[in-house]
Structure 1
Amino acid sequence: MLLISFMVIIGAIIGGLTNSLAIKMLFRPYKEMRIGSWRVPFTPGLIPKRHDELAKQLGKMVVDYLLTAEGLGKKLKSQAFSTGIISWLQTEATKVMRSQDSISTLLEQRFGIMNSKERLVTKTELLVQKSYRQFIETNRMETLEKLVPNSIQEKIESHIPSVTNYILERGQSFLESAEGKEKLSQMIDRFLIQKGTLGNMISMFLGNDRLVDKVQPELVKFLTDEGTRTLVQQLLVQEWEKLKQKKLEDIEKNVNEEEMVSFLVRTAEKQIPLYSMIEQPLYEWTGAYEEYVTTTVIPKGVDVLLDLLSTHLEALLERFHLDDIVREQVQTFSVERLEELVLSISKREFKMITYLGAVLGGVIGFIQGFIILLIG
């Protein structure tokens, strides 16, 4: 009985130590050991020896079996994932749109961009200047008729009658006013002075005020006459036709480039909301868009984006070269770190394997001791 007990104990020790050593040899030793030119067997351990191959196979396994286009596509199309993304984006968008910071402040804080409005205006000025010069250089010999879109030409021509009426009405209103009568009196006075003796004689016989009283109603009648309206309209049409036939180089001579660029930039700064919004707190101008963005733009945008990703997921994964990424990451892992990672996950199982080896060793020792007693 003592012999059997001894054999059981010895077998259990051998079995436990053998399994424990086998587990250790998965990782140890970390490096190859040599005596002279002779490499010590089983060095380095299994995993250090197959480190590169393990990294390659892990990368292949991730791409082929874990992060597959089909699996990721199902995840992207799932209602839970879509709802989660939409909810997160709505929360973040609401925080931004209700912020008291301006776009200028956010650009300065997040990206270090200082004086964003001044930079935007400067960029606009450079763009306008470049576009203006390019347009002039390209179309210098073209007429305005070819350069101005037909829709704008038709719009201008359709407004000629109203411009005619405006000119005549303003002229009539001016002549009928006290200021207009005074100006007309001064003009008549200068005219009579220029005519010398004849003017003095007319002035003596009629009197300046009486002459103004006679001329003013006639001028008003002239401005309200249909023939005058037709004449002025014809003159405007003729001038417009002449203007259309002028070449751009003729117009360029009378236009100062710096003033034109400055005018266009000022107009853009006044008319385009972005220039004023950039320095306003976000909540002041985003309130009108908050509901539309959160209830319409974000859900539709997420749906479109997820559909696009699902459609091109396989091509995207190929471009990412996930297998190479995993392989490179595993290769950069030290064996010590890899051992620690594996043992942290499977420490209990490895202990059970060691205990199992001890149990099996003990069973084998018991059988051996029993056989020896029988043979006796």
Structure 2
Amino acid sequence: MNLQTIFLIAFMVIIGAIIGGLTNSLAIKMLFRPYKEVRIGSWRVPFTPGLIPKRHDELARQLGKMVVDYLLTAEGLGKKLKSKAFSTGMISWLQQEAQKVMSSNESITTVVEQRFGVTDLKDLLVNKTEDIVKRGYSQFIEQNRHDTLDELIPVSVQHKLDEQIPTVTNYILERGQSFLQSPEGKERLSVMIDRFLVQKGTLGNMISMFLGNDRLVDKVQPELLKFLKDDGTQDLLQQLLMQEWVKVKQKKLADVESFLNEKEIVAFITRTIETQVPLFSTIEKPMNEWTGPYEEFVETTVIPKGVEVILDLLSTHLETLLERFHLDDIVREQVQTFSVERLEELVLSISKREFKMITYLGAVLGGLIGFIQGFIIMLLG
């Protein structure tokens, strides 16, 4: 083998390697370039635009389908949500966040104002409560206008009111006795007797003359006290109150509606809720002043149970949620918004080394082919 033959084989190996490397490099470049089709007049230059720009929309659809069918599947996400590590991490993170909130010097009002721009939170809650009470009151009146009070008042409440009638009876009689025994009561009774006698004319004068200098009130007062203390009086008054209470319960709501002041009732219920419900007083206090008793319960019970319930709910309905979320459409739309330059940069950032290896492989194969061709020429020569 002379020097000329060796030079020829080496030359063909070099040329083959250059051609193979350049060919593979050009093929890789043609995946993305040119970005747009090239035309000479009305004639489109072949292989323009590049493969990926030309199939941009189809690539976006296939990527969306691949993500939904093989990557973010309901089964895979469900296993992740049910894993012990995920739930433990979620619980730990929520406990840390809850601790930060509960140990804060800020009030709920301040937090809501800073993060959501809502001012006068308490006034807003009170006004909303008043609106709810007002709507509820109007709806209750409208729906039950033709029902009797007996039908509307709960049986347990009626029993309690029935049990209070003897107490009310005793109270009325005791207050009546106390009033009659007081100087004011005696004076009032005297005025009433004098007025009664004046109205009776001659009969009244005759009664006054018959009694002489004794005041009639001194004789009437003890008898009235005896009447009020008598067991028969108590039974009679109790029976009368019970009868009246029965009559009241038989009235329809429409019959007593005129006696109800909607504005005052709504205001009373709203004030009661405002004073009795702790929420209205605690929202303006620093959270570390009132959350102390609840910290352990929140961290050891509320958060773990809440995470368990939420994860179970998500796992059960995950497939439906993913369908409604339309992940394939989201991926497709995102990929479609990518410029071809951005797609090229993304692909090359992932597969740059592999593309270089393909280029080098093309050079090696081209050199090998050149060596074989040179060897064949040498044999034929």
TM-score of the two chains, using structure 1 as the length reference: 0.88
Equivalent residue number for residue 235 of structure 2: 230
- 1:150 is matched with 155
Matched residues, number: 369
- Partner in structure 2 of residue 292 of structure 1: 297
Letter in 2 for 1:34: R
Q: Shift of residue 283 of structure 1?
A: 2.9
Check 1:188–1:171 CA distance in 2 against 1; reply closer, same or farther (3 A cut).
closer
> Which residue of structure 1 lines up, in the alignment, with residue 123 of structure 2?
118
Q: Is 1:205 the equivalent of 2:222?
A: no
> Kindly tell me: are residues 86 and 202 of structure 1, through their superposed partners in 2, closer, same or farther at Cα, counting changes over 3 Å?
farther
Give 1:343 deviation, angstroms: 0.8
Give 2:186's aligned residue. Answer: 185
3-state SS, counterpart of residue 312 of structure 1: helix
Distance 1:204 1:288 in 2: 78
Deviations along 1:52-92, whole A, 9 cap, x unmatched?
11111111111111111111111111000111111112222
Do residues 362 (structure 1) and 370 (structure 2) align? no
Is the CA contact (8 Å cut-off) linking 1:8 and 1:366 kept in structure 2?
A: yes
Report the more deviating stretch, 90-99 or 162-171.
Answer: 162-171
SS state at 1:113 partner: coil
The answer to whether the aligner puts 1:6 opposite 2:11 as a matched pair is yes
Shift of 1:230: 1.8
Q: Which amino acid aligns with 1:110?
A: R
Residue equivalent to 1:336: 341
Q: Where does 1:132-171 land on structure 2 (aligned, <5 Å)?
A: 132-171=137-176
1:205-251 deviation digits (Å, cap 9, x = unpaired): 3469xx65x76666555444432332222122122112112232332
Q: Which moved more, 1:332-341 or 1:182-191?
A: 182-191
Contact conserved, 2:173 with 2:234, CA < 8 A, in 1?
A: yes
CA contact (8 A) 1:193 1:200 kept: no
1:59 maps to amino acid:
G
Q: Distance in 2 between matches of 1:7 and 1:13?
A: 10
For 1:226-375, list aligned pairs within 5 A.
226-375=231-380
**2:179–2:185: 8 Å Cα contact kept in structure 1?**
no
Q: Offset of 1:44 from its aligned partner?
A: 1.0
> Secondary structure at the residue paired with 2:348?
helix
CA deviation vs aligned residue, 1:308-332 (integer Å, no higher than 9, x gap): 2111211221112212221111111
State the alpha-carbon separation in 2 of the partners of residues 292 and 367 from structure 1.
Answer: 81
The structure-2 alpha-carbon separation of the partners of 1:192 and 1:328, relative to structure 1 and needing over 3 Å to count, comes to closer
The CA distance in 2 between the partners of 1:215 and 1:271, in whole Å, is: 50
Match of 1:51 in 2: 56
Structure 1 unaligned blocks of 5 or more? none
Percent identity over paired residues? 71
CA separation of 1:185/1:350 partners in 2, compared to 1, >3 Å: closer, same or farther? same
Task: Select between 215-224 and 360-369 the one with higher mean Cα deviation.
Answer: 215-224
| CA distance in 1: counterparts of 2:163 and 2:193, whole angstroms | 42
5+ residue gaps, structure 2, are 1-5, 199-204
* Cα-Cα RMSD: 2.5
Q: How far did residue 8 of structure 1 move?
A: 2.0
Q: Deviation at 1:363?
A: 2.2
- Following the alignment from structure 1 to structure 2, what is the Cα–Cα distance between the partners of residues 57 and 223? 97
CA distance in 2, matches of 1:168, 1:103: 53
CA distance in 2 between counterparts of 1:90 and 1:169 reads 61
